[in-house]
Amino acid sequence: MPLIHARFDGVERVQAKADAIQGVVQRGMRDPLRQLARLTGVSAAKSSVPYGTDSAAQQLGEKAVAKDIALVYATPSRAWRDIVDQRAAAAFWRALKNGELERAQAILQQYGNELRDVFLQPFDDGVAHKAARDPDTGRVRIEKPAMIVIEGGESGSPLDRYVQSVQENVGFGKGGWADAARRLGGIRGIHEADDDISARWILEKASGLGEVSEGGSDDAPTITISNTVRYASNILAASAQADAISIARGRFERYLFSALQAELRSERLAA
């Protein structure tokens, strides 16, 4: 199972500030480095597709799932619209409603456009969709639907229930990064003022999906955070991963600066 890593072993840009703080706070670099790695996990969770942690991001991911499934399974109403000849379309719909599938299929075969040669069938419980998904990205890339689902297009239908079940997977990729952040001390930072509740669609799926590996010494520590979700690298491109690390570094620098100010204030008060 491929992993994607964000590795920190030096943190050159913030080393000078850490060295300045070192004499004040009298502690090694491991704790600050864990904070940087945690912030990177938080940032990576937010930067993964669909970008964000709020309900709008969740809905965007769910719409992408529904769109992909619709590429595989056409509905009777779509087949009806595919027949340009109005009389033929009406005859197709009557035959379908009367359960005359062979007649409906023959009309579609003769008068259909894009869905000609696509067969009317009962829903196959998602077999065709799973076969059409790219093994690395999970996305669907096909030119024509695999079938026209005779009981599709209605709320509560087998196809509708299948779409909802697949949509429940939205957030797993982000959850791997959230889990790594949680292992390093918490997911503070994923929540924002207006989306702390909707972020549950990520956090509830996070358990066990993130990994943290620590090494080195307290003076020269290393930390590697990993997302074990198979398609993680496809929802966090290299450029987005670099941006996530950059954002985390900026937050970490501000954290170090604040820590230094607090310690200096404490030293002055104690003098």
Domain boundaries, the chain: 4-50+171-265, 60-167
Answer for the pair 34, 184: CB distance below 8 angstroms, yes or no. Answer: yes
Would you say residue 10 has pLDDT above 50? no
- 131-178: pLDDT as tens digits: 999 887 788 989 899 999 998 778 889 999 999 999 999 999 999 999
Confidence of residue 191 (pLDDT cuts 50, 70, 90): low
Q: Are 91 and 107 in contact (CB under 8 A)?
A: yes
- Residue showing tokens 């954290």: 255
Look at residue 22 in the predicted model and tell me its pLDDT. 55
Cβ distance 3 to 232 under 8 Å?
Answer: yes
The number of helices, as runs of H, and strands, as runs of E, in the chain is 12, 6
Please name which of 50, 6, 45, 55 lies closest in space to residue 198, comparing C-alpha atoms. Answer: 55
Distance CA 219, CA 8 (A): 13
Q: What is the pLDDT of residue 134?
A: 87
